[in-house]
């Protein structure tokens, strides 16, 4: 619990810091882009100069896109937990997920019938699932299958979870896996092994933050060379699980 608190405080501090820095950076980059655009209009007809200018514009644009993501991260809104049917939520976004990861990797879903519903911010849960799915894709450069599954906590899971009843939303890949050092640091904000301009190192810390704020957990299991399973454990929406037929709180419906 002390670790979780330290992590939360770290995220908070980083959120404030990145918010300020990203804002200033964004303004600077906008000025750079504006000047480059003016220069482009007056550039003599020289392909080499043109290429240099294009490089500069692309770099500044990538920087701007990155600061936008940092701002979005810093502005994390208050969560609005609601009763969510995970199979429903996943069904509603499989097309989006498949488009986000491209055609080389296939998505399979596995949900048992009657999986209890959970309490979570539905929109943030979708973003978390997108992050996990993109990570899974990145771990499988040769292609493969990503399995998105749901299950109720069993006796074997209790040790890793706080008291209460939980449902797990997991994303499994058969990719590179992580070595022990990477696994230990993977959830840290800004930790990335993907190289400059590719990874931000914010994906898993976002998912971890959402799980923790939802009173759940993010657990990572990984074997080098075999693959990774990211498990987002979320608290069961008890009332609706026990009295399925009674009118419960409003349930978010998703188009199929
Ligand atoms: P990013 O994806 O931008 O690097 P994340 O916080 O999502 O940031 O992930 C941090 C690091 O954890 C990644 O750079 C990678 O080394 C490792 N990682 C995350 N998911 C996986 C996965 N499914 N397979 C292998 N490594 C992973």
| Cα-to-centroid distance, 185 and ligand 1 (Å) | 10
What's residue 196's pLDDT?
Answer: 74
Q: Which residue, among 77, 62, 70, 54, has the nearest Cα to 200 in the 3D structure?
A: 70
Instruction: Name the 3-class secondary structure at 21.
Output: helix
Q: Which atom of ligand 1 is nearest to the CA of 205?
A: 6
What's residue 80's pLDDT?
Answer: 87
Residue 228 burial by Cβ neighbours in a 10 Å radius (0-12, 13-18, 19+): buried
Residue 18 pLDDT > 90, yes or no? no
pLDDT digits (tens, 9 = 90+) for 157-201: 988 888 889 999 999 999 999 999 999 999 988 889 998 777 888
Q: Which residue, among 121, 123, 135, 133, has the nearest Cα to 200 in the 3D structure?
A: 135
Q: Give the helix ranges, DSSP H, for the chain.
A: 2-42, 47-74, 86-101, 122-138, 180-185, 203-213, 238-242
pLDDT digits (tens, 9 = 90+) for 78-91: 788 999 999 999 99
| Cα-to-centroid distance, 135 and ligand 1 (Å) | 6
Question: What CA–CA distance (Å, rounded) separates 237 from 166?
Answer: 9
Q: Which atom of ligand 1 is nearest to the CA of 200?
A: 3
Which residue's CA is the nearest one to ligand 1's atom 8?
201
Tokens coding 87: 């199979």
Ligand 1 pocket check for 201: Cβ under 6 Å: yes
Q: What is the pTM of this model?
A: 0.72
Residue 130 pLDDT > 90, yes or no? yes
| Cα-to-centroid distance, 177 and ligand 1 (Å) | 9
228: alpha, beta or left? (left if phi > 0; alpha if psi -120 to 50)? beta
In the chain, the percentage of residues whose pLDDT exceeds 70 is: 86
Residue 45 pLDDT > 80, yes or no? yes
Q: Which atom of ligand 1 is nearest to the CA of 199?
A: 3
Ligand 1 pocket check for 147: Cβ under 6 Å: no
Ligand 1 pocket check for 139: Cβ under 6 Å: yes
Element (H or E) spanning 170, and its range? Answer: strand 166-173
| Cα-to-centroid distance, 108 and ligand 1 (Å) | 20
Tokens coding 153: 């906590």
Q: Which residue, among 115, 117, 119, 128, has the nearest Cα to 171 in the 3D structure?
A: 128
Ligand 1 pocket check for 175: Cβ under 6 Å: yes
- Tell me the β-bridge partners of 81: none
pLDDT band at 245 (very low <50, low <70, confident <90, very high): very low
Ranked by mean pLDDT, the top range of 59-63, 104-108, 208-212 is 104-108
What's residue 1's pLDDT?
Answer: 59
| Cα-to-centroid distance, 193 and ligand 1 (Å) | 7
Question: What CA–CA distance (Å, rounded) separates 204 from 134?
Answer: 11
What's residue 255's pLDDT?
Answer: 43
């Amino acid at each position: 619990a002390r670790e979780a608190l330290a992590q939360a405080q770290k995220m908070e501090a980083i959120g404030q810091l990145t918010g300020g820095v990203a804002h200033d950076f964004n303004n600077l980059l906008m000025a750079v882009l504006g000047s480059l655009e003016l220069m482009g209009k007056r550039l003599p007809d020289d392909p080499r100069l043109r290429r240099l200018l294009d490089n500069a514009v692309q770099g500044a644009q990538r920087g701007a896109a990155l600061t936008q993501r940092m701002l979005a991260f810093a502005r994390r809104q208050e969560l609005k937990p609601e009763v969510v049917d995970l199979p429903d939520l996943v069904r509603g976004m499989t097309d989006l997920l498949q488009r986000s990861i491209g055609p080389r990797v296939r998505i399979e879903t596995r949900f048992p019938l009657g999986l209890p519903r959970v309490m979570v911010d539905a929109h943030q849960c979708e973003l978390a699932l997108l992050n996990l799915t993109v990570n899974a894709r990145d771990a499988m450069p040769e292609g493969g299958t990503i399995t998105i599954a749901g299950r109720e906590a069993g006796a074997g899971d209790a040790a890793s979870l706080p008291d209460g009843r939980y449902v797990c939303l997991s994303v499994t890949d058969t990719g590179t896996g992580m070595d022990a050092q990477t696994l230990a640091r993977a959830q840290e904000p800004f930790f990335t092994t993907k190289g400059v301009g590719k990874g931000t190192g914010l994906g898993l810390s976002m998912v971890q933050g959402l799980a923790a704020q939802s009173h759940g957990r993010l657990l990572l299991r990984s074997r080098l060379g075999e693959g990774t399973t990211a498990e987002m454990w979320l608290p069961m929406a008890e009332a609706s699980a026990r009295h399925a037929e009674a009118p419960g709180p409003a349930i978010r419906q998703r188009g199929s």
